[in-house]
Amino acid sequence: MATYSNQHWLLSHIRNSFISTDDTGMCETVMLSDDMPKHYLRKFGNSGAGGDHYHWRRAHKTPPTGGGTTPDRNTRHPDAPLQEVDFICYPGLDLSDDEEDMSTHSFDIQMYPEVGAHRFRSNTAQKLEKLDIAKRRAARIKSVNYLEEVQPPDRDDFFKRKELPLSKAAPAKKEPKANDDELSDEGVQSQLSEQLAKSPKQAQNRFIEFARFDGTSQVGMQTKRINVFLNMLPDPDRNYPLKICVVATAKIQEVIGFVCYRTSLQYPDVPLKSLQHYALYMTEDNDDMEDFPPLDNREPCSKFGFSQLTLAERRPLAPVTRVDYHSQLGSKSMTSVEDKTALSDAAVKALQNISLNGGTSDPGGAGGGGGGDSPHDNVKEYEKRLLNHNDMLEAPMHRTFRLNIIDKRFFKSDVTLGISGERIEIDQCKNAKFWPQKKPVSTPIDFVAHCEILERRHLKALLRIWLKSNSSSPSFSTGCTSAPINASVTTLNAGSGSAGIAHSPSSPGHSSSLFSSSNIRFKHYDFDTDTHTAEQIQNKLNCILEMRSSDLRREFLLQRDRKQEKRQLKL
Amino acid sequence: MGDQQQLILATGGYDHTIKVWQAHTGNCIKTMRFVETSQVNALDRTPDKTRLAACGYQCIRLYDLESNCTAPVINFDGVQKNVTRLGFQEDGNWMFTAGEDHHVRIWDMIAAPPHCSRVFDCEAPVNAACLHPNQVEIAMGSQNGSVFLWDVKSERHERIVPEVDASIQDVAISPDGRYLAAANNKGNCYIWSLTSQDQKMSTLHPTKKIQAHSRYILRCKFSPDSRLLLTTSGDGTVCIWKTDDFSKWRELRIENYWVWDAAFSADSKWLFTASSDGIARLWKLQTKSTIRDYTGHTKAITALSFKDEIVGK
């Protein structure tokens, strides 16, 4: 034991044990800067400090120390400082130290993961406990020795010959009417036939193919246990997770299938939709879903460490409903059920608007009292209004446009602009080569003020969309989870670094001076596109805005008028 | 309470698990771990349907079907080599096991713990064994091609070698006790007629040779009404023969997969198959169509057990 009182040896031993038994490599990283054995040696050299240090180490028992890799093994210098250390070390230490020091390296390899005497004991205790459990389990299992001596039965009637009913097959042997393909039905019915007849055809579970991802009792295969909260269940049940065990290699999509399978078994009354409708979301202890996107369907479940998840209907991707990049210019895309319902609602609203107001006021702003009394004018008016109505009807439908957003006055990047009755979305096209991919921006329609065409040049047009921009934007309660505009502004600028997608008017020298009079500030996105598309967008967006008759828009137009008046006054 | 309604199918295979299915829906009720080093060679249920016996490489285990526990209730120690078949006497008084250790053993299951009350040495690895409906004779087939009929009561036996250089893969006796069938690895199936008089051991009369398959036959089995005989094969088919004249009645095909085992329903109208694609299937024999798939095994299914009952006319 004497050798184990060699401080340097102990320190380096501890250190190396930590390093060599830690597969993660963390210990090594942490200890790299804190080479205690080296410190020790250094202090050791500084006459007497070594002793103090030793005591300090003893008292605090801080484990992460050591550094056997120190090349200098000078513990046994016959120098003066060493003499002091000898007070603490056992005498005779110097004799074998060289070998000991060498052996620190090999000792490391033999070390158990648990360093320290008490840990050893607990390990033993653990092993004992395991043995105990195994024993108790084994006690419940009756054991039979296969190779035991034969013990002939003591009872004579142990093997009893049973008289078979004299083969009734004899008369059945000749079945004159048994045609080749049909076996005559003797009228017997089995329990299976009965049950099959009772169970309808669709009793075959449609998620049955996912049954094979069941991980329970799989031998020699990695499995994963997850508690899944089922969002579609009625209230009491949804608070209790479904405990599943899946094969670790199963993809998330397959896990969802398996959960659906288990759900259909456990809650046969709960109607389930098809797989595409569901997604797995991260969840806390209760079944509140986090605002994170669902787990990627294509990833194996072993990749995720969550022990609790929620199966819920797939939400539209937050914060933006992604638009199909490959869709043609101006193609319509209905991205999710939610969107669809929102759109249809908006459309119905629009219809009501028209039927209610159509006669008296003209929502399209086509100039109801155009004044023209001639029938010709009337027809024109009517046509115009019809067209307008069509526009109004179609306006809330989701539609995407591809155009260029103008950045910092002259940078252009390719974006997809999606407009619906609910929101507008700006999403950078994937094929943008030069700039780093920017985050998509979604803005609820309530925050959109106006759309105008600033400039028309031969075939080209400069389109501007005005949005509300103030940091004191009220917490809005739209269904969508997108960030408020001011956040999206920061998203744009922060995400893009030097090259923001839009030059936002909130940046100095822009709109701040424009509408300084009001507490509501506006910013704008500028787009560059062909005249036709620009007009389409302008019409569509303004139609939507007019239908909603938002205060924001009125405020914007008011501010602009005031501004123009001021300008004119100045002039 | 529910066990009268609960009609179950048990399957086991190369994935070291035994699964219990609700027969009419195809839902897996329970999965039990088998031995990590072994496939499941054969499954059988005790006649009272409460326990499931399974055998494999160096293991024989009995599981309780009524509890939720997936651990075995009885485990056999010291088993050597593969145990290829097991089965129960109709009252559950005893169980037989056949193994590649050349021995067929009779286990007294009334005694606690069970003990061995008879041993028969086949002098070659035993691939198959089945119990005569008279409950005292056991037919056995060995790897060296011998077919034995062993009277466990009198301990007399008879031996026949129908084909040299062929290994008997399975034997079967029709429930009416009229026929004994033995199938070998060359795809041939031999039929004997059994006759018995005055409580004496049955005698065998060669009756028919069927060239049933081009490859390995894995199982042969008579239907409960004794009117059909099935053979499953490594050629991916199940052939069903009429015992009237041993002509082929149906052929079911699971392309490219071995059909390891099969079982009739009590009315001989439905057939379960276990195949190497890891799917157990339920076939309607009338139409030769599958009506249920039992998916869940990750590897080949090599054994199944189904116990059905006649519920009435």
| Structural domains in chain A, sorted by start | 2-114 (no CATH), 208-313 (3.10.20.90), 399-570 (2.30.29.30)
Residue B86 Cα, gap to closest chain A Cα (Å): 13
Nearest CA among A289, A261, A283, A290 for reference residue A274: A261
Give B139's strand partners: B130, B149
pLDDT for the residue A538: 86
Q: SS3 for A57?
A: helix
Residues 6+ apart with CB under 8 A from A203: B24, B25, B26
A-chain CB neighbours of B311 within 8 Å are 189-191, 194
Nearest CA among B133, B155, B150 for reference residue B98: B150
Question: Can you tell me the distance from the alpha carbon of A539 to that of A396, in angstroms, rounded to the nearest whole number?
Answer: 11
Angle between helices A531-548 and A337-357 (to 10 degrees): 70
pLDDT tens digit string along B225-260?
899 999 999 999 999 999 988 899 989 999 889 999
Question: Can you tell me the distance from the alpha carbon of A372 to that of A354, in angstroms, rounded to the nearest whole number?
Answer: 22
Angle between helices A551-570 and A531-548 (to 10 degrees): 120
Question: For residue B77, what is the DSSP state?
Answer: E
H helices of A220-307, in order, are: 235-238, 252-266
Contact check, Cβ <8 Å, B77/A146: yes
Contact check, Cβ <8 Å, A143/B310: no
B290 touches chain A (CB under 8 A): no
Residues 6+ apart with CB under 8 A from B190: B147, B162, B163, B181, B182, B183, B184, B206, B208, B209, B210
Contact check, Cβ <8 Å, A217/B244: no
Contact check, Cβ <8 Å, A167/B176: yes
Residues 6+ apart with CB under 8 A from A125: none
A-chain CB neighbours of B133 within 8 Å are 162, 164
Exposed, middle or buried by CB within 10 Å (0-12, 13-18, 19+), for A490?
middle
| Pair of tokens at residue A290 | 């986090």
Exposed, middle or buried by CB within 10 Å (0-12, 13-18, 19+), for B292?
buried
Q: SS3 for B262?
A: strand
A-chain CB neighbours of B269 within 8 Å are 190, 193
Name the band, by pLDDT with cuts 50, 70 and 90, for residue B170. very high
Question: Can you tell me the distance from the alpha carbon of A119 to that of A278, in angstroms, rounded to the nearest whole number?
Answer: 47
pLDDT tens digit string along A145-194?
888 888 888 777 888 888 877 655 444 444 444 455 566 666 778 888 88
Q: For A558, phi and psi rounded to 5 degrees?
A: -60, -50
Nearest CA among B69, B73, B44, B47 for reference residue B61: B73
Cα angle A124, A129, A130 (rounded to 5 degrees) comes to 100
Question: Can you tell me the distance from the alpha carbon of B31 to that of A212, in angstroms, rounded to the nearest whole number?
Answer: 11
Residues of chain A falling short of pLDDT 50: 47-106, 110-111, 114-118, 169-178, 318-335, 354-373, 472-517
pLDDT tens digit string along B58-101?
999 999 888 877 788 898 888 888 999 999 999 989 999 999 99
Cα–Cα distance list, A450 to A364, A467, A557 (Å): 14, 7, 8
Contact check, Cβ <8 Å, A144/B244: no
Write out residues 153-182 of B within 8 Å (CB-CB) of A. Answer: 153, 176-178
Write out residues 177-206 of B within 8 Å (CB-CB) of A. Answer: 177-178, 199
B121-252 has which CATH code? 2.130.10.10
Mean pLDDT, chain B, whole residue set: 89
Contact check, Cβ <8 Å, A196/B291: yes
pLDDT for the residue A89: 37
Contact check, Cβ <8 Å, A220/B36: yes
Cα–Cα distance list, A302 to A213, A228, A294, A295, B54 (Å): 13, 15, 15, 12, 32
Question: For residue B288, what is the DSSP state?
Answer: T
Nearest CA among A65, A90, A93 for reference residue A77: A93
Q: For B266, phi and psi rounded to 5 degrees?
A: -60, -30
Measured from the Cβ of residue B200, the count of other Cβ atoms closer than 10 Å reads 12
Contact check, Cβ <8 Å, B33/A144: no
